């Protein structure tokens, strides 16, 4: 089962993808996490990616596509994977289909999370993530704060905020998303794999669990 998570930055697709990964035992492939690791290690790819990401812009297709192709060739993706953060344009979706076809695979479901922009902005401005990559727990200091300020409830590691989580960059990222998403949605709608989901209460702690359950019931994903 190969799943592509769609939704604006901060819509909750990453948290939902992590929940789905546990329910399905499929690897969660986040292009954003991979890029941030490269940026942290100050690799050439990381420096290049940061020059775009820090301004809320998309990393060039050829860089992202090659990275995803390599990741999807790894053994743990043989039975499926959950893609989070890619594709973001129709061109990337077409490139992904080509990669999948070369490996005898196909995209089975594309959940799209629909959340109002103002809730997204508020959510991202108050977002904190566990610095332990193996954990990756996400908190909202307003709606879902950790028990101890700045410390992850799960593993005790320090919580960090992204350098591009400021209002100007968030609005720019939303504009970039809106400018590219319609052709992408049309592409997957035509393939009959698109599942649009509007969370009943996107500020609720259980929102991502509810969304994951809805995805699970579609095509018997879980």
- Told to judge if 173 belongs to the known catalytic residues of this protein, a careful annotator would answer yes
What gap in Å lies between CA 60 and CA 70, rounded to an integer? 16
pLDDT of residue 81: 96
Contact 115, 36 (CB under 8 A): no
Handedness of CA 33, 145, 9, 100 (dihedral sign): positive
pLDDT of residue 185: 96
Q: Among the options 18, 36, 105, 127, which is catalytic?
A: 127
**pTM of the predicted protein model:** 0.81
Any idea how long the chain is?
A: 222
pLDDT of residue 112: 96
Residues contacting residue 163 through CB under 8 Å, at least 6 positions apart: 54
pLDDT in tens, the chain (222 residues): 999 999 998 899 999 999 999 999 999 999 877 787 778 888 887 888 888 878 878 788 888 888 888 888 889 999 999 999 899 889 999 999 999 999 899 999 999 999 999 999 998 999 999 999 888 888 988 888 999 999 999 999 999 988 778 889 899 989 988 888 999 999 999 999 999 999 988 888 789 999 999 999 887 788
Yes or no: is domain 2-114+167-216 CATH 3.90.245.10?
no
Provide the residue ranges of all domains of the chain, joining segments of one domain with +: 2-114+167-216
Backbone angles phi and psi of 65, in degrees to 5: -60, -45
CA 77-110-29 angle, to 5 degrees, is: 35
- Told to judge if 127 belongs to the known catalytic residues of this protein, a careful annotator would answer yes
pLDDT of residue 92: 92
Contact 71, 29 (CB under 8 A): yes
**156 vs 134, 141, 197, CA distance in Å?**
12, 16, 33
Structure tokens at 116: 């109002």
pLDDT of residue 179: 87
- Told to judge if 178 belongs to the known catalytic residues of this protein, a careful annotator would answer no
pLDDT of residue 27: 95
Q: Among the options 18, 105, 144, 173, which is catalytic?
A: 173
What gap in Å lies between CA 83 and CA 118, rounded to an integer? 25
Contact 4, 83 (CB under 8 A): yes
Strand 138-140 to 127-130 pairing: antiparallel
Q: Among the options 36, 88, 105, 123, which is catalytic?
A: 88
- Told to judge if 162 belongs to the known catalytic residues of this protein, a careful annotator would answer yes
Beta bridge partners of 195: 111
3-state secondary structure of 211: helix
3-state secondary structure of 113: strand
Q: Among the options 23, 90, 162, 171, which is catalytic?
A: 162
Contact 87, 95 (CB under 8 A): yes
Handedness of CA 123, 82, 7, 54 (dihedral sign): positive
3-state secondary structure of 103: coil
């Amino acid at each position: 089962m190969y799943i592509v998570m769609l939704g604006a930055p901060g819509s909750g697709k990453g948290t939902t993808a992590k929940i789905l990964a546990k329910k399905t035992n499929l690897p969660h492939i986040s292009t954003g996490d991979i890029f941030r690791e490269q940026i942290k290690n100050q690799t050439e790819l990381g420096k290049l990616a940061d020059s775009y990401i820090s301004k809320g812009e998309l990393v060039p297709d050829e860089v992202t596509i090659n990275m995803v192709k390599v990741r999807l060739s790894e053994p743990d993706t043989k039975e499926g994977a959950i893609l989070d953060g890619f594709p973001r344009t129709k061109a990337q979706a077409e490139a992904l289909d080509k990669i999948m076809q070369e490996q005898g695979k196909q995209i089975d479901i594309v959940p799209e999370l629909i959340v109002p922009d103002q809730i997204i902005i508020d959510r991202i401005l108050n977002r904190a993530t566990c610095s332990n990559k193996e954990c990756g727990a996400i908190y909202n200091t307003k709606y879902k704060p950790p028990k101890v300020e700045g410390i992850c409830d799960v593993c005790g590691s320090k919580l960090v905020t992204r350098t591009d989580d400021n209002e100007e960059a968030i609005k720019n990222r939303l504009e970039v998303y809106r400018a590219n998403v319609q052709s992408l949605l049309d592409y997957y709608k035509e393939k009959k794999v698109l599942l649009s989901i509007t969370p009943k209460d996107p500020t609720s702690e259980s929102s991502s669990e509810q969304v994951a359950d809805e995805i699970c019931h579609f095509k018997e994903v879980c």
